[in-house]
A and B are shown apart, each in its own frame.
Chain A
Amino acid sequence: MSASAVVFEPDEELNRRTLMMGNRLFLAANTMLMASMIFAYLFLRGNNYGGNWRPDGIADLPSVSMAVTLLLQLACLVAVLGALRAVQGGADVRALGAVALVFGLAAGVARVWYQYNLGSGWVITNGTYTAVSEMWFGILIVELLLGWFWLLSIVVTGPRNSTKAATSRHLRAFSEFWFYMLIASTFVWLLVRLV
């Protein structure tokens, strides 16, 4: 009666296509979220012509710490891609996967620390510039940390409880997601810093 395991064998190719498509659709929705924030930022900026953007008393975004955070995100991505190569070659995901996890966690922790140490004047009650920027950074932090848990699940399940096909498609999808986050993080920082 329980026909689930009987006739239909797991189709790895179908699962791969499904996961990649689902991931990309999620990123499309995420792009709409980012687009809303871009709209909000530019709209609020345009609404404040005449000297209130950026307001007095708000420090410039620090460059060095943000660059370090972005580099940590990049390092995580490189490690993930390395892990993907390793898995496709038959090796264990856990070696490079652990490296990726460390970099990813460091990036997430750095961003959280950064959120509380942006500089003088950086509170959301201090006008819309700080509010929209901090909200945007906050969204990125949430997405990065949740994504990190995805990576954790990939690395932890490892070869014992997951097939090579499953691990490599998850790594592949994760790398696309993480790359997207890297681009988004860079873009947001540049926009808020320069515009």
Chain B
Amino acid sequence: MTTMAVARQPRPLSQVLAQWGIVLGIVGAFIGFVVGAQIGEHLVPADANSTGSNAALIIGYVGSAIGFLAGMGFFNYPIARLMGRPRPTEWDEAFLYGEEGGWKRYFRLNVDHKAVGMQYLVTIIAFLMLGGLGAMFIRAELLQPEPSFASAESYLTVVGLHSVIMIFMASAAIIGPLGNYFVPIMIGSRSMAFPRLEALTFWLLPPAALILLSSIFLGGFPTGWTGYAPLADEAVRGMDGYLVAFTLVGISISLSGLNMIATVLTRRAPGLRMTQIPIFVWSVFVTSVLGLLAPPVLLAVLVMEMLDRIGHATFFVPAGGGTPYLWENLFWVFGHPEVYIFILPAFGVMLEMLPVFARKPLWGYRVAVGGMVGVGVLSWFVWQHHLFVSGIAPSLRPFYMFSTEAISIPTSIVYLVAIGTLWKCRARFTVPMLFIMGFLFNFLIGGFTGVFLSDVPSDFALHASYFVQAHFHYTIMGAEVFGLVGAITFYLPRMTGHVLNERLGKIQFWWMFISFNGTFLSLLALGILGMPRRVVTYDPGLQGLNVSASLFAFALGGSMLFFLFILVKDTIVTPVRARVVNVWDSLGNEWRLPSPIPIHNFTTPPTDWALPYDYDRDDHRTAVPGGGMALPEGVTE
């Protein structure tokens, strides 16, 4: 079907090896680990008292990541250039883009942004399910006020794993699958600015997850996802897995941010102005600025922690001149923009889907863009609200209280735009629309609970309690994950050609919405009543609410499994293909491409750009693209 079948001369070794993809990656990971561990052992051998050398483990993990990437073929191009080899052949290009089709192309280095989007989709869902298992464990343990079936060590490990895996998931939940898949299409580009880099951002995630999970066998890590030193300094070897895994994910977020910014700024089709790109692309763009700039701070602080653990430095140990406040400040300078990285793409995809089901233009597009930019800018100036009771100088607190409360202004703009779009609309309550409604309800609670936490006096009561848990679960799960599920339902016909069952989807939504609110309202109440976070024992008087939270949480877990069931059933077991790809009758340009989308999206760059939200014009389907593009030849609607 391609030039590959025609070639008769013997393949170069690099091409033979390239076909082994992930298998070679795994081999490389093992070799890299062994080499790295040897180097580490040699550099800083284990102390007499410790169970093993931290240096060996950390450098081993780093080596395994490098070895994995080498095996996947990420170094082939740089090495070829270093050896003065000619530019890649046509076969190489076709192979890199997975032009031969089939499932194997997802298990190797694939620079087609749509393939990367699919890879992210599966991986994000896997992380969500894995983290969810941890949550079920936690809630099962918390049915009793005293420790029951879990040991203190395993409980704390699962708390840490649940939170870190969910953080990894949330940081790429929407940008990964949907940003990578749709941003180039939405701006009329054949590819991302740096296609190979995009593949790299994905392939950093599986090694990160496995390195993190390997900490289970090394005693786990006791710090939760915030990794506070000096507890991290004294932790057992499982801590090293957390440090390296988080480093890899931070690099992935940063590179993804770089790629998205460069793509949106340099790859827009001729004639497409920034004021005409879909709102989803704007949300990805603003997120990417945060994504580019925040993780380097995390990198710095993680490396300091590695030096503390490997080299007995004292960055965070007061007796050696360090201070725990260094960790707290640097971590949260990263940590706060990080949570806006979670939510901004969710805002974007929600506002992108809303006009389709309201059958009405997006109200206040420019105001929405302004709101997102406002959130992005303000997110850098609020981090010390995590430190209100930590012992920072009291005079700093009013400023951070004000800046944190001020973030609700641009956030409220998103609600204004949503309400404005819904006003006098003719809503169709499809499954994605239900998730949009759920998003709006949940994030309202999430946002308001944030205001309680931003107020310093009330934070005195609520910091480090289950109120905080409820706040961030309402925003991350209640908004971002609800947005993700709705967006998957919405975009699946475009990405794979399958349609999910509408009736089952509505049942799944209500199941998820009710159990989600039951769980986290219970936790909200627990927080107000003074239950601290990350504890395995609690005041027996609070058992009722804990049981309520746990039972609703089990139901929530069931609803997520049900979603997975619907997904697998309608895509793999008994595939349901859409008769017409544009199931939702959307004006988005991404829906006007043929199915399957050609490898390079367009043969000629599209022209005649406008915002794809003109639902008020009844003749939108026949008018000159007020939201369309020149269709490829031979394709009808």
Contacts and interface: CB of A to CB of B under 8 A. Distances in A.
A2 B266 contact: no
Interface stretch (A78-86, A107-115, A125-133, A182-190): A125-133
Interface string B294-305: 111101110110
B568 interface: no
B603 A128 contact: no
Given A22-B193, A40-B330, A32 B83 contact: no
Counting chain B CB atoms within 10 Å of each CB, the highest count among A17, A52, A132, A160 belongs to: A132
A29 interface: yes
Interface stretch (B254-262, B442-450, B606-614): B254-262
A2 B83 CA distance: 27
A164 B93 CA distance: 22
A116 interface: no
Contacts of A43: 323, 325-326, 329
A180 interface: no
Contact of A124 (B193, B307, B599): B307
Nearest to A149: B82
Chain B, interface size category, equals 35 or more
Nearest to A158: B84
Contacts of B261: 21, 25
Nearest to A53: B321
A39 B330 contact: yes
Nearest to B326: A43
Interface stretch (B157-165, B308-316, B463-471): B308-316
B320 A128 contact: yes
A175 to B, nearest CB: 18
Given A127-B314, A156-B82, A48 B326 contact: no
A7 B314 CA distance: 59
Contact of B93 (A1, A4, A39, A47): A4
Interface in A4-19: 4-5, 7-8, 14, 17-18
A39 B314 CA distance: 16
B258 A152 contact: no
A23 B85 CA distance: 23
Interface residues of A, number: 48
A63 interface: no
A191 interface: no
A67 interface: no
B313 A124 contact: yes
A135 B303 contact: yes
A3 B603 contact: yes
A109 to B, nearest CB: 19
A32 B262 contact: no
A71 interface: no
Interface string A91-128: 00000000000000000000000000000000011011
Contact of A48 (B299, B321, B600): B321
Counting chain B CB atoms within 10 Å of each CB, the highest count among A43, A125, A128, A132 belongs to: A128
A70 to B, nearest CB: 23
B271 interface: no
A2 B262 contact: no
B82 A152 contact: yes
B258 A124 contact: no
A30 to B, nearest CB: 7
Nearest to B4: A2
Interface SS of A by simple majority: helix
Contacts of A30: 296
Interface in B245-289: 254, 257-258, 261-262, 265-267
A161 B314 contact: no
Contact of A7 (B94, B307, B603): B603
B99 interface: yes
Interface string A134-153: 01000100000000010011
Contacts of A59: none
Given A2-B2, A47-B321, A131-B315, A28 B94 contact: no
Contact of A156 (B81, B313, B321): B81
Contact of A44 (B78, B292, B293, B322): B322
B473 interface: no
A18 B86 contact: no
Contacts of A44: 315, 321-323, 326
B151 interface: no
B293 A4 contact: no
A47 B600 contact: no
A158 B357 CA distance: 56
B289 to A, nearest CB: 9
A195 to B, nearest CB: 16
A14 to B, nearest CB: 7
A28 B293 contact: yes
Contacts of B296: 29-30, 32-33, 36
Nearest to B78: A153
Contact of A5 (B84, B90, B257): B90
Given A4-B93, A135-B307, A125 B294 contact: no
Contacts of A36: 296-297, 299-301, 330, 333
Nearest to B310: A124
Contacts of B87: 161-162
B338 to A, nearest CB: 13
B190 interface: yes
A40 B266 contact: no
Nearest to B322: A128
A37 interface: yes
Nearest to B293: A32
Given A40-B304, A128-B320, A152-B82, A14 B266 contact: yes
Interface of A: 1-5, 7-8, 14, 17-18, 21-22, 25-26, 28-30, 32-33, 35-37, 39-40, 43-44, 47-48, 52, 55, 124-125, 127-129, 131-132, 135, 139, 149, 152-153, 156-158, 160-162
24 contacts: A2-B90, A8-B190, A14-B267, A18-B193, A22-B262, A25-B258, A29-B292, A30-B296, A32-B294, A33-B300, A39-B330, A40-B315, A43-B326, A43-B329, A44-B326, A55-B321, A124-B312, A124-B313, A132-B304, A132-B315, A149-B78, A153-B78, A158-B84, A161-B84
The 5 closest A-B pairs by CB, nearest first: A36-B300, A33-B296, A131-B313, A32-B296, A153-B81
